[in-house]
Amino acid sequence: MRIGIILLNICFFLFMNCGDNKRSSEFKTEETKSQQPVISAKAIEGFKYKDYALSSRSENIVADWEKYKELAIQVDYLKKADLSFFNGDKTLLKGFIDTLKLNIPDTLKTNPIMSRTTIIETTVLRLNEHLTLDNIDSQLKLESVKEVLVAFSNLNYQINKKLERDLYEKIKSEF
């Protein structure tokens, strides 16, 4: 009888110790996942999207739009995985986007361009939220970076499209 109780206690301790090893290995894998680099320049280069650049006519129009030029510089830094601007204070980002929207040149104040600036506002603020929260998956952070790049590219496309349309409207038919 005593031998049975002793064997039962030994088995109980073995089962309890086996469970602890499994939990510690799960904890170690979670630590290694969190230590991995979140966003790299190589991962950003791998994004597949159409990156539109401004035409020479468009560059002349936005030459006086300071906040646009600053945003273009920050997007170039973002392509190199420099997240310092987008990882900053939310109120500063909100103020930057508000002045960007207020200082749009008069020739570009159309609904498509205004909506693209609103989309940029949404994607930039979403990226800021994903970067500042610790419990967000790195894949979701990468998707947010891609959304910002796509939104900025679409703004460039809309600016080019608007100026091209204005040029075609100036051309009169000979008939």
pTM of the model: 0.75
- Given this model, what pLDDT does residue 136 score? 87
Mean pLDDT of all residues in 34-59: 81
Mean pLDDT across 143-147: 94
Residues 60-86 have a mean pLDDT of 93
The pLDDT value recorded for residue 169 is 76
Listing DSSP states for the chain in one string gives -HHHHHHHHHHHHHHHHHHHHHHHHHHHHHHHHHHS-S--HHHHHT---------HHHHHHGGG-HHHHHHHHHHHHHHTT--TTTTS-HHHHHHHHHHHHHT--GGG-SHHHHHHHHHHHHHHHHHHHHHH-TTS-HHHHHHHHHHHHHHHHHHHHHHHHHHHHHHHHHSPP--
Is residue 9 predicted with pLDDT exceeding 80? no
pLDDT > 60? residue 168: yes
